[in-house]
Amino acid sequence: MRRLPGVLIVEDEPAIAELISVNLRHSGFRPIWAMDSVTAQAELESVLPDVILLDWMLPGESGLALAKRWRAHPRTKTIPIIMLTARGDEVDRVAGLDAGADDYIAKPFSTKELLARIRAVLRRRAPEQAEGQVTLGELCLDAATYRVTFQAQPLKLGPTEFKLLHYLMTHAERVHSRSQLLDKVWGDHVFIEERTVDVHVKRLREALGEAGAMVETVRGAGYRLTVQALLAKQA
């Protein structure tokens, strides 16, 4: 089964959030609704979405303040943010973009336009994840030269483990089920058992040595690559 891109909707108006959610589901996305900053932060700490739709006017902390905070945090700084607001003046659009939003849509808006904007920010983001060097803590992967290092020391990985690590590093902090990893790493045209993922995860951990602690098992859900697991083990 293909993984549906997750969209976190931070919107305090239930009717608007439901309208967006219905259209997202029909268009192949997985909507997650948060009605305020506290709920939104809790969702982000659980599983990172692919896109955030962020209302400017929220109870408590404003969308503008949230955008600034999330853009400044290493874990959330690369997530595309689309600001949704009734404030359509140029000065407000500039303020939203300066706060870190990737795009800005004034209410009322067309759901077709919103979906097109979501697809656009995902397309812009994809090439950054697909090639070049990726670094997570002291773990570095260079897709061009096929090299992996931890604390500047080279590591030897098999081709499948390399592909698995590359995918996990470019989607760090997110939980991936076995079926999602099979789809993204092996390809949806390959028919193998989901438990095969466990074997390659075990090999990957062994090849990474001390950095293997970064590959975290999330019981009942799958696997996640996170620096926090390594830091907890070292503490």
Q: Which residue has the higher pLDDT, 190 or 85?
A: 85
Span 76-80, mean pLDDT?
85
Greater model confidence, 27 or 88: 27
Q: Report whether 176 contacts 193 (CB < 8 A).
A: no
pLDDT of residue 128: 44
Query: Which residues does residue 64 pair with via DSSP β-bridges, in sequence order?
Result: none
Residue 229 has pLDDT above 50, yes or no: yes
CA distance 216 to 149: 19
Structure confidence at residue 30 (pLDDT) = 92
Taking residues 191-213, report their average pLDDT.
Answer: 87
Tell me the pTM: 0.55
How far apart are the C-alpha atoms of 154 and 87, rounded to whole Å?
52
For the segment 161-178, the average pLDDT, to the nearest whole number, is: 91
| Higher-pLDDT residue of 186, 225 | 225
Name which residue leads in pLDDT, 108 or 134.
Answer: 134
Distances (CA, A) of 203 to 8, 119, 173, 215: 34, 35, 20, 11
Of the listed ranges 8-22, 82-96, 158-172, 216-230, the least confidently predicted one is 82-96
pLDDT at 234: 66
Q: Is 179 helix (H, G, I), strand (E, B) or coil?
A: helix
